[in-house]
Amino acid sequence: MLLAAQAQLAEQPQQPPTPVVVGERPRDATAATPGDPERTEEDVQRSSAAADVVVTARRRSEAVQNVPIPISVVGVKELDATGSFNVQRLQQLQPTLQFYSTNPRNSSINIRGLGAPLGLTNDGIEQGVGIYIDQVYLSRVAAATLDFLDVQQIETLRGPQGTLYGKNTVAGAINITSKAPSFTPQGRAEITVGNLEFKQGKASVSGPLTDNVAIRIGLSTTSRRGTIYNVASDSYVNAQDNLGIRTALLWKATDTLDLTLSGDYSRQNPACCAQIFVRVGNTQRALNRQFDALAAAQGYEPPSRNPFDRVTDLDAKLSARNELGGLSLRGEYHLGGGTLTSITAYRFWDWLPANDRDFTGLPITTLSQNPSRQDQYTQEFRYAGEGRGFDYVLGAFGFYQTIKTTGTQRQGPAASRWLINPSNALSRDPSVLDGLTANNDISLKNFSGALFGKLNWKLTDDVTLSPGVRLNYDDKVGSYISVVRDGQGNLVPATGGTARQAAQRDAIQPQAFRDQKFREWNVSYDLTASYKPSRDVLLYATYAHSFKSGGLNLNGVPVVGGVVQTQLAQVKPEKVDHFELGAKTQFWDRKATLNVTGFWTEIRDYQAVVNNSSTSTLRGYLANAGKVRVRGVEADFSVRPSDRVTFYTNGAFTDHEYVDFKNAPCPPELSGGGNGTPIGAPGQPGTNSPVVCDISGQWLPGISKFAFSYGGEYNLPGQVLGASGEAYVGVDANSRTKFSSNASRSIYTDVNGYTLVNARLGFRTDKGVNVFGWVRNLFDIEYYEVLATTPGNTGLIAGNVGDPRTYGLTVGFGF
């Protein structure tokens, strides 16, 4: 939550505020050039007269309208004004950015619907959207659940960025730039209070220590009462409890060498994360094995069947402690006609969870947790130079990561009645599954190295060709061990044994495989042709071939006859072919900006959960689907007709489907029944289910066909208590149409479209004081963030309901 309070120091209210616009905008008074701490806001405002928002998308400072990449840029003022203090909030400003999370580890960030399949968490694979903070790559999506900390600007690059940003940017990259240390003393502080006991404080200070050393320190803290009342614990859950601190030292060692040492630490420790009862949908299981019958057999009824009552009765402990931090050293040396950059970084991530994975108040699964520790080390060398009629970037990148996850799952006294067929006498013996415990040990060592280069060659004053190439090598070694013991501490064998042990094995399957390896070379390349017929028009076309790293299936694989199917442990890379046409335009004396992009992306060997009838029908596993396709059109428009008014609207049409996916897990309405033919009707209890489902032609999860964000701000000069400034009112809204919330589209898990409206009203002074009231979800719309099927084909659908209306007051000041 750092952003919300860090409006640029030298705010000058007599100048109209930055338009609250995502996408390329006509003006942005906050986009200081990264790596140039002496570039003041006043400098940037002067450059804004030329409508130049400065970005580093191509690893050099450029005006965004001159970069042939679709980029959405959000500056510090937009972040502050809209309360966008993390990626989840940021997505409401950017129609093609999607963020889904049931807890920090089970999170996915997608651009144009691509990146990571919704709800798919596996230590052995990587994300498809690259996240960079101050040019340091963050390999875990969990980082995106934390608050932004002392951020200057966020660039979202849409489409594959494999040449300059690396292997796992098949959907795009999020490039976050922090505020740099300043040699001019400055500071900013902000306090916010709101309903639901919301409290947020943010502060930053910067200034010189000596003539050539400057420091910056920023911190933020946020807390909020949970939005779900848990009757079992008599407490509110899904709360917020965040703390972050960042510091940076800039040493101008010589006239040609700058060194920046940065360190940060962020911590979340809320009572979280509850997925609550949403609905029951019939499966093909026998009726007495579906949710309502199973619940009635134990005298259970959820506290409410209306999820928007925001009540649950989860009886297992909930925790989502999430810690992330690290150190980086960036050196920038002006050498010859260019700049040599070195970035050395270490980062860690600690995840300490506790979940209720039966999603009920019954003691079925009493313990479910996968504590995880990640350490990563990165080193990048990059030289950006230029010659007569061309410029270029050459570089090398190294990455090493270790992950250690030690999970535990324990069944409780209600498990036998819930999980074992009622026709089996063992179902009436609670001791069969009570205390049954799996201890999982997952480890991964992951090395990646790359050489890359990008050339921008001006064929004429108006035409530029930009080829790029990246050679990448991956080496991964991983193990998965799950040891299962009964309530008395006896080992459950992987095969054979008694009927009691067979029932225990059906509930939790023991298995182990060690030192599985994945090693492969890959090449990414792209070519962009751009044409600039006039000062305010840029046309471009791009072809890119990229990949997302292959990996290892570290959530377990099928076991057949007691034999672990280790041939299924490896997962092939995704192979991406991408085509894009775009136009960036400005008109009306650069008061208006209109950028339009059309794209077509195809991915072969798409990483997803599959079923395979030749091995096992008992569980899905991570493998490769045939092919997916996403294509569409995006438009970003903003206008500033006067100093008093700004307006923006951004929209996206996205057509998406599995082109070839014949061995997908079936949705719940086609699951849980017997084997054989004929196959029963969807949701018909006691009928046969298909072993696999062909979902070719169906929607991909998480993508709306239409999505929009739009809003504006109006201000009037005035005085309050003798202080000169301006009063302002702003409105921002986002709309999206229906989307699927399950990997295999289900009649039970489509999320209906919705529109959210946020508003603010305030006064800011010439001296940097800003006081405003705000409201989010103004019309208190009831909506789901995500829906999920639950284990066991009982028909229970759980989900996360979106925040209700929230409101508050923010007071900020700076010097």
Burial class for 130, CB neighbours closer than 10 Å (0-12, 13-18, 19+): buried
What pLDDT score was predicted for residue 103?
A: 82
311-368 per-position pLDDT tens digit: 999 999 999 999 999 999 999 999 988 999 999 999 999 999 999 999 999 999 999 9
Residue 12: pLDDT band with limits 50, 70, 90 = very low
- Close Cβ partners of 647 (under 8 Å, ≥ 6 residues apart): 19, 638, 639, 640, 711, 712
Query: In sequence order, what DSSP letters do the residues of 415-460 get, joined into one string?
Result: HHHHHS-TTSGGGG-GGGTTT-EEEEEEEEEEEEEEEEEEEEEESS
Is the predicted pLDDT of residue 1 greater than 50, yes or no?
no
How many DSSP H helices and E strands does the chain contain? 7, 46
Q: How far apart are CA 493 and CA 483, in angstroms?
A: 9
CA 594 to chain centre: 27
CA distance 28 to 586: 15
Residue 680 in tokens: 């029963």
264: tokens are 């940060």
Residue 315: C-alpha distances to residues 79, 201, 231, 302, 429 (Å): 38, 33, 9, 12, 21
Tell me, what's the pLDDT at 635?
97
Question: What tokens does 199 get?
Answer: 């409290």
pLDDT given for residue 57 in this prediction: 84
Q: What does the alpha-carbon distance between residue 359 and residue 355 come to, in Å, rounded to a whole number?
A: 9
Residue 435 identity = G
Buried b (16+ CB within 10 A) or exposed e, 551-580: bbbbbbbbbeeeebbeebbbbbbbbbebeb
**CB neighbours of 388 closer than 8 A, spacing ≥ 6?**
none
* Phi-psi label, residue 500: left if phi above 0, alpha if psi -120 to 50, beta otherwise: alpha
CA distance 552 to 569: 5
Which pLDDT score is estimated for 352?
Answer: 93
Backbone angles phi, psi at 260, to 5 degrees: -125, 120
Q: Alpha-carbon distance 57 to 68, whole Å? A: 10
- Which pLDDT belongs to residue 14? 33
Phi/psi of residue 249, each to 5°? Answer: -120, 125
pLDDT in tens, 617-636: 345 678 888 999 999 999 99
Of the pLDDT bands very low, low, confident and very high (cuts 50, 70, 90), residue 3 is very low
Side chain identity at 424, as an amino acid letter?
A: N
CA distance 631 to 180: 38
* Among the listed residues 94, 173, 166, 178, the one whose alpha carbon sits nearest the alpha carbon of residue 134: 178
Whole-number pLDDT of residue 556: 83
pLDDT at residue 89 is higher than 50:
yes
pTM over 0.85? The answer is yes
Copy the structure tokens of residue 259.
Answer: 């060194």
Closest CA to 376 of 444, 301, 471, 275: 444
> Tokens at residue 583, please?
């136009």
> Does the pLDDT at position 416 exceed 50?
yes
Note the pLDDT tens digit of each residue in 141-152: 776 677 788 889
Name which of 107-116, 251-260, 299-308, 485-494 the model is least confident about. 107-116
Decide if pLDDT at 718 tops 70: yes
For the chain, the average pLDDT equals 89
Per the CB < 8 A criterion, the answer to whether 537 and 544 are in contact is no
Could you tell me which residues are beta bridge partners of residue 681?
Answer: none
Q: Is it the case that residue 28 has pLDDT exceeding 70?
A: no
The residues pairing with 328 across neighbouring beta strands, listed in sequence order, are 262, 345
3 state SS of 61: coil
The whole-number pLDDT of residue 620 equals 63
- Which stretch of DSSP H or E encloses residue 506? helix 499-507
486-505 average pLDDT score: 94
Q: Within a 10 A sphere around the Cβ of 305, how many other Cβ atoms?
A: 11
**Tell me, what's the pLDDT at 119?**
64
Give me the pLDDT at residue 120, please. 65
Decide the pairing of beta strands 338-354 and 319-335. antiparallel
280: tokens are 């029951």
User: Residue 46: enclosing H or E segment and its boundaries?
Assistant: helix 41-48
> CATH says 3-814 is which class?
mainly beta
439-490: pLDDT as tens digits: 999 999 999 999 999 999 999 999 999 999 999 999 999 999 999 999 999 9
- Owner of token pair 């040990």: 441
* Degrees to nearest 5, angle at CA 495 with 494 and 499: 115
Sign, Cα dihedral of 361, 362, 363, 369: negative
pLDDT of residue 568: 85
Number of other CB atoms surrounding residue 501 within 10 Å: 18
Tokens coding 44 = 């940037």
CB 699, CB 667: distance < 8 Å? no
**What does DSSP say about strands 706-720 and 645-660: parallel, antiparallel, or unpaired?**
antiparallel
Distance CA 93, CA 3 (A): 15
* Euclidean distance between the first and the last CA atom of the chain, given in angstroms as a whole number: 20
Q: What is the pLDDT of residue 612?
A: 53
Residues near 645 by Cβ (< 8 Å), separated by ≥ 6?
Answer: 712, 713, 714
- Whole-angstrom distance, CA of residue 601 vs CA of residue 629: 6
Q: Domains of the chain: which residue ranges?
A: 3-814
pLDDT given at position 36: 42
Instruction: Return the pLDDT at 459.
Output: 97
Q: Which of 173, 68, 167 is nearest to 112 (CA)?
A: 173
Closest by CA position to 374, among listed 268, 318, 445: 445
CA dihedral of residues 108, 114, 119, 124 (deg, nearest 10): -80
Give the confidence band of 139 by pLDDT, cuts at 50, 70, 90: confident
What one-character-per-residue DSSP string does 208-233 give?
ESSSSEEEEEEEEEEEE--SEEETTT
Q: What was the pLDDT predicted at 29?
A: 33
Distances (CA, A) of 173 to 152, 474, 725: 17, 20, 38
Distance CA 117, CA 100 (A): 10
More confident residue, 29 or 545: 545
Is 230:237 a contact under the CB 8 Å cutoff? Answer: yes
Q: List pLDDT tens digits, range 650-690.
A: 999 999 999 999 989 899 999 999 989 999 999 999 999 99
Closest CA to 800 of 103, 62, 162, 15: 103
Q: For residue 556, what are its two tokens?
A: 């377990």
Q: Which residue has 């504006």 as its token pair? A: 712
Mean pLDDT of 231-235: 97
- In the numeric block, the tokens 């442990």 are attached to 569
Q: How far is CA 302 from the centre of its chain?
A: 31
Mean pLDDT of 188-206: 96
Cβ 117 vs Cβ 128: under 8 Å? no
Residue 313 in contact with residue 361, Cβ under 8 Å? yes
HSE, side-chain direction, 13 A CA sphere, residue 648? 32
Lowest mean pLDDT among 291-300, 503-512, 629-638: 503-512
Identify the pLDDT of residue 764: 95
Q: For 58-62, 160-164, 282-286, 653-657, which range has the lowest pLDDT when averaged over its residues?
A: 58-62
